[in-house]
């Protein structure tokens, strides 16, 4: 099997920084124990398992906000690590009030988005934040807005918002979640502009996300199939699969690792492209590539 190794792929600098912060903290004898991470440091269970082995406790609960996770921690303090996705000012204030030492691993791109939202709100803007409901990044970003940041996933959300909060005549701005893509956001931004031509649009999609998606689409043009390595909870991993299917019009599958590669996908194929989400450990992707490079399609059975 010929394997096209998509570049860039895998860890972005924000993920690398967050993991390094966590590992340094685990080795720091001065850090107050226990050490908690409020939500997964990045959306990959293998990274979370590695940190657990170092003594870092990841606090997670499906559907729970960062505030709810914080309030569920036992009394007695310790050290609290904020993830790459960022948190709201309310979470920061509450963590301090509860007596935790705080270490912040927020991605610099997310920090810039928070600063932009604060600036826009201070100048009187109402903000339409294009992001994914249930993802931790919108939760933190919207917390900067004092009730004036509205989550919009698509046109349906825009319709529902305008039915209850008329936006005409208000100064408006659009801000995007960093792990979205231009393809994800184009349709809803176009509709917002149609309704509100004066809107200010701020594309906060991080360069790493866009570069990885563009590289995957480009590689897909020369491949029979694209395999994306990453955790099912990773938004950017899911997006890589979707843009290959919808933009490049090529089949694509997400796998957590080599054990999830289905040989039935490979039957009759000659060239497969491999990429990975920005929170996927490198060795997981290398194992998939090695499997594919060694793969040989079974020859047809010889009639007896």
Domain CATH code at residue 144: 3.40.1010.20
Active site residues: 137
The pLDDT tens digits for 63-86 are 889 999 999 998 778 999 999 999
Q: What is the pLDDT of residue 301?
A: 47
Q: Do 219 and 175 share a structural domain?
A: no
Q: What is the pLDDT of residue 298?
A: 52
The two beta strands, 78-82 and 100-104, are parallel
In angstroms, what CA-CA distances link 71 with 57, 62, 66, 77, 98? 15, 15, 9, 12, 9
pLDDT, average across residues 154-161: 94
- Asked which of 187, 202, 217 is the last residue of a domain, the reply is 202
- Asked which of 61, 76, 106 is the last residue of a domain, the reply is 106
User: Would the pLDDT of 213 be above 70?
Assistant: yes
Structural domain including 149 reads 109-202
User: What's the total number of domains in the chain?
Assistant: 3
Give the DSSP H/E element, type plus range, for residue 269. Answer: none
For the chain, state the CA radius of gyration. 22
pTM of the model: 0.88
Cβ-contact 227, 289 below 8 angstroms: no
pLDDT, average across residues 232-239: 88
Q: Do 255 and 282 share a structural domain?
A: yes
- Asked which of 171, 202, 233 is the last residue of a domain, the reply is 202
Beta bridge partners of 229: 255, 276
Is 302 a domain residue? Answer: no
Q: What is the mean pLDDT of the chain?
A: 92
Residue 182 sits at the vertex; the CA angle it makes with 118 and 229, to the nearest 5 degrees, is 105
What is the band of 296 on the pLDDT scale with cuts at 50, 70, 90? confident
Beta bridge partners of 177: none
User: Would the pLDDT of 19 be above 70?
Assistant: yes
- What is the percent of the chain with per-residue pLDDT over 90, rounded to a whole number? 78
């Amino acid at each position: 099997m010929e394997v096209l190794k998509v570049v860039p792929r895998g860890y972005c600098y924000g993920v690398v920084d967050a993991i390094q912060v966590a590992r340094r903290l685990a080795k720091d004898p001065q850090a107050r124990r226990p050490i908690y991470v409020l939500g997964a440091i990045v959306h990959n269970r293998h990274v979370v398992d590695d940190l657990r082995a170092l003594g870092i406790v990841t606090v997670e609960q499906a559907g729970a906000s960062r505030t709810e996770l914080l309030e569920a921690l036992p009394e007695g303090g310790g050290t609290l690590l904020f993830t790459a996705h960022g948190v709201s000012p309310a979470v920061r204030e509450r963590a301090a009030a509860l007596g935790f030492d705080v270490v912040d691993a927020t991605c610099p791109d997310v920090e810039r988005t928070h600063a932009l939202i604060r600036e826009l709100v201070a100048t009187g803007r109402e903000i339409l934040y294009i992001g994914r409901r249930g993802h931790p990044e919108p939760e933190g970003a919207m917390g900067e807005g004092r009730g004036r940041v509205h989550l919009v996933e698509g046109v349906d959300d825009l319709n529902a918002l305008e039915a209850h909060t008329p936006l005409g005549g208000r100064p408006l701005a659009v801000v995007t979640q960093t792990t979205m893509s231009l393809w994800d956001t184009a349709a809803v931004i176009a509709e917002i502009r149609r309704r509100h031509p004066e809107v200010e649009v701020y594309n906060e999609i991080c360069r790493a996300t866009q570069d990885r998606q563009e590289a995957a689409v480009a590689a897909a043009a020369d491949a029979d199939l694209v395999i994306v390595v990453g955790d099912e909870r990773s938004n950017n991993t899911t997006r890589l699969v979707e843009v290959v299917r919808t933009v490049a019009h090529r089949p694509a599958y997400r796998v957590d690792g080599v054990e999830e590669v289905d040989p039935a996908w490979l039957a009759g194929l000659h060239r497969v492209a491999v990429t990975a989400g920005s929170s996927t450990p490198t060795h997981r992707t290398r194992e998939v590539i090695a499997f594919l490079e060694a793969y040989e399609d079974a020859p047809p059975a010889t009639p007896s």
